[in-house]
Chains A and B, each alone.
Chain A
């Protein structure tokens, strides 16, 4: 349904060297040869840190931006050669709140955008009412969007993207800035859409929980390249993100090599240590610690998360946690 091949995007940025002096002209590679295929009815999440290229990729798929090179097809249509045809098949939810006309009511916004996509008037009214009910805005349909809360506006933006019954829904961080109830409300709608399997969804997020909860497949972008893709479980396995056990030990310094590969030792206070090992090695680690005369003060087992996999694949900004660290 969505196929990107060899997408590259380079932005030209002009630095400012002062009030009157122009600075250096810099080229920033936002995307470096991205290949992505999303099947009909599939729900794919693009995961990446800020500046990884997620929004750029979404905007290129939505024909809002032109790539520096590469090919994009949406529903079999060459989106670069025939953008208007491709746009009819795409519903787009952009990041931010100001994506609807604030002076128009929720219903007026939907009728306006339905009209832009050529939905006949009577059908547009029926769709607008059904969508407003679906996103929980029926009671507020005749209230100007400027009076809505952030969560209501986000739900309205989603309804707006669906009003012309697109085949592909493109969402850029739809839950950013929402409270947990707001996030849950939006997720409920997205889960329903996923369950219907009529719509292909491409979602950009850096919310790990969202990426673990919603999609069929996760694509991790880093510095403009895809570094991993698969189901959340596959990505975790590929990144080597396994459940871990953290042992708090006291006594003489443990001999790290004895605890096997994958063990990491953090020095805490004087005579106290934090030993992190893969959870499957926990019994062996406890036995080894006792053999070395160390006292076990506590054990904490942590399930592997997409968060861990993501940090392993894209690197963590602060690696040492402010402590001394050794790896086996």
Chain B
């Protein structure tokens, strides 16, 4: 816990060191959401569908930031030159990633507030029960742990693993129903989406919007997320051993 605490604090110091990031994070959600919401408005979609798209976007933006900051976060340590110092300490890599995850939750709280503000400006009210929705955001984040660990493993092995990382992120987002409900996907893709924890997170969020019960989706999200977390943890441990054996700990 002490290690997690100091690493979390270090992330916040770094966040503060680049204040323009705050501005970027306030403005960029508008650029992301505008096309989807304008298209929805142009084609006269009803408010329910617009809300549904908005919820998907909110959830996806929140989660993709988390995946990016945690899955690729280790690159900062590589480029800073301190990764070897961390690898020589008794702290396991998942703790380092955990600290990045916690810092990203703080960052995401700010991002989400900015995004909701932009939705408001676009006339989207998002009538969701917010406490339950925030709980779902956090749970969906936990459901992605396995994929984040897998991304971090790719970074350890390949260093610049953006391309496979992008494929994982975009693939997950599309299949999970980020911009449209997964049931609208072709049947084979829909079947594939059933294996993605995030799909249940997005469905649960849309369920909250409609006031529908979401217990089953939450259960699947937690169960599948735990299974993927185990697989991701093993993959990361394997990647770390491969990196230490190949002697690329100081490369980036």
> Could you tell me which A residues sit within 8 Å of B by CB distance?
9, 11-12, 30, 56, 59, 62-66, 84-85, 87-88, 90, 92, 94, 96-104, 108, 111-118, 120-121, 160
Contacts and interface: CB of A to CB of B under 8 A. Distances in A.
SS of B interface (majority): helix
Contacts of B92: 84
A128 to B, nearest CB: 12
Contacts of B2: 115, 118, 120-121
B249 A116 contact: no
Contacts of A98: 80-82
Contacts of B9: 112
Q: How big is the B interface, by class?
A: 20 to 34
Contacts of A100: 82, 85
Interface stretch (B35-43, B203-211, B238-246): B238-246
Interface string B1-40: 0110111011001100100000000000000000000000
A117 B89 contact: yes
Contacts of A111: 6
B247 A11 contact: yes
A204 to B, nearest CB: 14
Contact of A56 (B82, B86, B247): B247
Contacts of A84: 90, 92
A114 B89 CA distance: 10
B166 interface: no
Interface in B43-97: 80-82, 84-92
Give the 3 A-B CB pairs with smallest separation, nearest first: A98-B81, A115-B6, A116-B89
A2 to B, nearest CB: 15
19 contacts: A12-B246, A56-B247, A65-B247, A66-B241, A66-B245, A84-B90, A88-B90, A97-B81, A99-B84, A99-B85, A103-B14, A104-B13, A111-B6, A112-B6, A113-B89, A115-B7, A116-B7, A116-B89, A160-B85
A100 B81 CA distance: 7
Contacts of B5: 115
B88 A115 contact: no
Interface string B162-187: 00000000000000000000000000
Given A65-B245, A114-B6, 6 more contacts: A59-B84, A62-B88, A84-B92, A99-B85, A100-B85, A101-B80
A112 B80 CA distance: 15
A112 B9 CA distance: 9
A50 B91 CA distance: 31
A87 B80 CA distance: 21
Given A92-B88, A99-B84, A64 B249 contact: yes
Contacts, number: 87
B102 to A, nearest CB: 14
Nearest to B250: A94
B91 to A, nearest CB: 5
A85 B92 CA distance: 12
A11 B13 contact: no
Nearest to B85: A99
B17 A103 contact: yes
Given A92-B85, A118-B2, A101 B10 contact: yes
A118 B90 CA distance: 9
Contacts of A85: 90
A118 B241 contact: no
A226 B81 CA distance: 30
A108 B85 contact: no
A99 B81 contact: yes
Contacts of B90: 84-85, 87-88, 116-118
Contacts of A12: 246
Nearest to B5: A115
A164 to B, nearest CB: 9
A225 B112 CA distance: 59
Contacts of B13: 103-104, 108
Interface in B127-142: none
Contact of A66 (B14, B82, B85, B244): B244
A141 B86 CA distance: 21
B246 A87 contact: no
Most buried by B among A88, A116, A118: A116
Contacts of B80: 98, 101-102
Interface string B218-252: 00000000000000000000000100111101100
Contact of B84 (A94, A113, A117): A94
Contacts of A97: 81
Contacts of A115: 2-3, 5-7
Nearest to B18: A103
B244 A65 contact: yes
